[in-house]
Amino acid sequence: MNRPTAIKTLRAIARTTFESLPLAARKTLNGVQVYRANLGYTTKGRKILGTARSDGRVVLLDTDTLERYADRPGRLETLLAHELAHCYRTLTGVADTDERREERATNRLLKSWGFRPADLNKFEEMPCKP
């Protein structure tokens, strides 16, 4: 996928995801920026699909993931909504410093917004780069 197409895909996904959020969430998340970046791998060798910056104002989605799943916008929307849920929790002051508790609470919020957290498990494992 070429860069302009990938950017267009990201814009479309960001728009449809944001529009599907409840009004209160959209108000809180107004101004959050969404970008694509090469996020790399964790120390355990898992591909980083997306991340929310600790201030809750920026979401990064992995370029490879965007390109690989461009034909499956529903999965990408769920991924983006998950990262936006982290932003929402941060901006409303309820984010948890314990990673496991934060992920569980974020997935509950994601579900309340009408997304299926289980869809996040449908991303195929992207192998480590040699």
**pLDDT (0 to 100) of residue 66:** 87
DSSP calls for the chain: --HHHHHHHHHHHHHHHHHHS-HHHHHHHTT-EEEEE---B-TTS-B--EEE-TTSSEEEEEHHHHHHTTT-HHHHHHHHHHHHHHHHHHHTT---SSHHHHHHHHHHHHHHTT--GGGGGGSPPPPPP-
**pLDDT (0 to 100) of residue 45:** 83
Could you tell me the pTM of the whole model?
0.90
Mean pLDDT per 10-residue run, the chain (130 residues)?
A: 69 94 97 93 86 96 87 92 97 95 96 93 59
Residues whose CB falls within 8 Å of the CB of residue 124, separated by 6 or more in sequence, listed in order: none
What the chain holds in terms of domains, given with CATH numbers, is 3-122 (3.30.2010)
**pLDDT (0 to 100) of residue 130:** 38
